[in-house]
A and B are shown apart, each in its own frame.
Chain A
Amino acid sequence: MSLLSPVAALGRVVLGALATMGRIAIFAAETLSHLLRPPFYPREFLTALMQIGWFSLPVVGLTALFTGGALALQIYAGGARFSAESVVPSIVAIGMVRELGPVLGGLMVAARVASSIAAEIGTMKVTEQIDALVTLSTNPMKYLTVPRVLAATLAVPVLVAVGDSIGIFGGYLVGVNRLGFNPAAYLKNTRDFLEFWDVASGLWKGAAFGFIVALMGCYYGMHSGRGAQGVGRATKSAVVAASVLILASNYILTEVFFSA
């Protein structure tokens, strides 16, 4: 083995990663270009909206409820160290709408939706259903990718908004019932310290995360390998890529939105 072998191996990994990033960027550009050009498939869009939006509500809602409650407990315990227990309502609200609502919502949707899209499209690929679409004069990008990406981009901000509300409610339940806050005071504090941009920034993040989730599901599904193992690998890659990209883009968006 030559001394340069580890360097060559590292180079191959880096080149492979760059090539994948390039392919994903081209796939995203193609998706966006098809978004604006007919034919459109409204039925597929509505089905995707139901699958991604409506059916993700329970998992996002429960995640937000427990996160809001835990956040209230943590802030109360931490705040007690410097006699700042009263900040619980405002910090829970700001933390949920700016950060935890969109990020945890995005991650839960990534786990549920990116995997499901990648498995569905991957299975369609290995059973030649994608080829069948082409022979039936239907562009798979327009029929499969565009409706899912558009639906996720529109549905996830709504899920985030619902998740934010449930998360704040979770904090309220714990604050009032467990930590002894006055209900009216808790609500007033939540309202007074929450600004429009806190909520709006979280919704924009949700839209970006929805786009990423569906794009990764479609990309890895369309590029799935053969057989059950190929579909399994595509599903795993879609969830991992979507999760990492959500966390990375969350940092970038936070820098863009809040670094003054």
Chain B
Amino acid sequence: MIELSDVHKAFGTNRVLRGVNLTIPSGQSMVIIGGSGTGKSVLLKCILGLVHPDKGRITLDGEDVETAARDAFLARFGMLFQGGALFDSLPVWQNVAFRLLRGSLKRPKSEAREIAIEKLRRVGLKPETADLYPAELSGGMQKRVGLARAIAAEPEVIFFDEPTTGLDPIMAGVINDLIREIVTEMGATAMTITHDMSSVRAIADRVAMLHDGVIQWTGPIAELDATSDAYVQQFIHGRADGPIAAVR
């Protein structure tokens, strides 16, 4: 279980997070929604320790993420980045097996390659893709490779940062379905940040809305449409009028 208590983060005078409180139960898929620039990615990076909160506490299964042994802590996570964040200098299979080729999870090269090809197959890519370089792949394929990399070491927690941004609706649907299937199959805890409502409906068990640096609303996906929260209603219906300023 991931718990965030009163998490604050500012960049200069820009107070991005102003006291975030949120619990993500184990094995559940939590989707954080919110407009652009509301701090969704910062929140995710705070949990991973890529950004250090100014105040507040973040725990994973009761252990403070700031004091946890770094390697062991990160070994429990997988992450799909918005743009894929694949390493240009490495072929696809080495991107997928990156963690399996070095560090505490190191395996023999042939075994790491086999696992990489298996994970590529799992995300719908042919084994021939393994020896290509990221620059040779389409945007959708890069997302799939990023997804394969995120699940390669069978992590307990997987983060998805805007998984469908920049993809056509069909490819976005494919990625959403893959994420749902993989999270269910692995029994992993998932946290996705997105402003794509089709992703929310396909991926989420629970939804939280981040606005003005705090969680405005959180609840099960089944209650999303019925909630009377004005922020959520404006966001999910894409209205210009409402409590969220259209020009930010």
* Chain A residues near B (Cβ < 8 Å): 39, 41, 47, 124, 127-129, 131-132, 134-138
Q: How far is the CB of B85 from chain A (nearest CB, A)?
A: 4
Asked if A135 and B87 sit within 8 Å, CB to CB, the answer is no
Asked if A132 and B81 sit within 8 Å, CB to CB, the answer is yes
Asked if A128 and B82 sit within 8 Å, CB to CB, the answer is yes
Question: What residues on A are CB-neighbors of B81 within 8 Å?
Answer: 128, 131-132
Question: What residues on A are CB-neighbors of B75 within 8 Å?
Answer: 137
A-B contact pairs, 27 of them (CB 8 A): A39-B102, A39-B103, A127-B83, A128-B81, A128-B85, A129-B85, A129-B86, A129-B88, A131-B45, A131-B85, A132-B79, A132-B81, A132-B87, A134-B48, A135-B79, A136-B74, A136-B99, A137-B71, A137-B74, A137-B75, A137-B99, A137-B103, A137-B104, A137-B105, A138-B98, A138-B102, A138-B103
Interface centre among A39, A132, A138 (most CB of B within 10 A): A132
- In the complex with contacts A128-B85, A129-B85, A129-B87, A135-B77 CB distance below 8 A: yes
Complex: A127 Cα to B48 Cα, angstroms = 17
Q: How far is the CB of A46 from chain B (nearest CB, A)?
A: 13
B76-123, CB < 8 A from A = 77-79, 81-83, 85-89, 98-99, 102-105
Complex: A131 Cα to B83 Cα, angstroms = 12
Question: What residues on B are CB-neighbors of A134 within 8 Å?
Answer: 48-50, 74
Question: What residues on A are CB-neighbors of B78 within 8 Å?
Answer: 135
Asked if B48 and A135 sit within 8 Å, CB to CB, the answer is yes
Complex: A39 Cα to B85 Cα, angstroms = 23
The contact of A131 among B50, B87, B89, B103, by CB within 8 Å, is B50
Question: What residues on B are CB-neighbors of A47 within 8 Å?
Answer: 89
Q: How far is the CB of B14 from chain A (nearest CB, A)?
A: 14
Question: What residues on B are CB-neighbors of A128 within 8 Å?
Answer: 81-83, 85
Q: How far is the CB of A132 from chain B (nearest CB, A)?
A: 4
Question: What residues on B are CB-neighbors of A41 within 8 Å?
Answer: 102
Complex: A128 Cα to B81 Cα, angstroms = 7
Q: How far is the CB of B187 from chain A (nearest CB, A)?
A: 20
Asked if A132 and B85 sit within 8 Å, CB to CB, the answer is yes
Complex: A136 Cα to B50 Cα, angstroms = 12
Complex: A215 Cα to B108 Cα, angstroms = 33
Question: What residues on B are CB-neighbors of A127 within 8 Å?
Answer: 83, 85
Q: How far is the CB of B121 from chain A (nearest CB, A)?
A: 21
Question: What residues on A are CB-neighbors of B82 within 8 Å?
Answer: 128
Q: How far is the CB of B42 from chain A (nearest CB, A)?
A: 12
Interface centre among A39, A124, A128, A138 (most CB of B within 10 A): A128
Complex: A47 Cα to B94 Cα, angstroms = 16
Complex: A105 Cα to B71 Cα, angstroms = 40
Nearest residue in B to A134 (C-beta to C-beta)?
B50
Q: How far is the CB of A218 from chain B (nearest CB, A)?
A: 15
Q: How far is the CB of B79 from chain A (nearest CB, A)?
A: 5
